[in-house]
Amino acid sequence: MTTRDPRAKGLAAFAGLLADETRAACLLALFDGRAWTAGELARHAGVAASTLSEHLDRLVAGGLIAEERQGRHRYVRLADARAAQLVEELAAQVAPGTAAERPRTLRESGAGSAMARGRTCYDHLAGRLGITVTDALASRGLLRRDTGFALTDAGLAWFSAAGIDLPRTGRRPLVRACLDWTERRPHLAGVAGAALCRHALDAGWCVRIGSERAVKVTATGERALSELLGIEARQLR
């Protein structure tokens, strides 16, 4: 007689959280790293506020999002980096280019191009920008990719020299590979990826554009990335 794994019921219930287009749309929207109000998410998902509230309750109960209340407003965000990693890795398995995903307007096409060029993936850089930076780190011997991602001693020294602090608190890995859903290759994530992205935004190397997660490298960023990683400006445009 086969004994069913006691985790099977819980796993099925958890998978069910993602088996709804409205909940999936909410999780992907929260990848910009900020907290959204329930009303903002309802408009984004194209559903009534009451309907959205039910979906959010399920996502909170399932541990995928966290909520905060300020006055009459309900703010939600991704629960943590672990939840973000799970959703991103699942999203990366979705085959691109289906008819439903093709842009319907010039505006959608432009937004899609900007996201593919450079964006934030929760709290680290993604798109061609993320891949370019990851490749540059590897080519200069700062990042190893042969047995998974790992910073070399030279890589640790590079982050320190660039003034990018790498906090070693919590259980989050220092570096990890995150599969890029547009480039279909892994980019840098983990503590180091988040620290690099935060520094790029704080130092003005990158700026956010539009209402999505898209980012653009500034002239300051082009100079900095050329000096620090030997990346040519044309690779960042």
Q: What is the pLDDT of residues 53-72, one digit of tens each?
A: 999 999 999 999 999 988 88
Average per-residue pLDDT for the chain: 88
Q: Give Dmax (Cα) for the chain.
A: 67
C-alpha 194/C-alpha 175 separation (Å) is 9
- Class assignment of domain 8-79? mainly alpha
- Indicate whether 99 pLDDT > 50: no
37: tokens are 């109000």
Q: What is the pLDDT of residues 146-158, one digit of tens each?
A: 988 999 999 999 9
Q: How confident is the model at residue 109 (pLDDT cuts 50, 70, 90)?
A: very low
129 residue type, one letter: L
Residue 184 has a pLDDT of: 85
Asked whether the whole model's pTM tops 0.85, one would answer no
Closest CA to 85 of 48, 124, 55, 52: 124
The arithmetic mean of pLDDT across residues 7-27, rounded, is 91
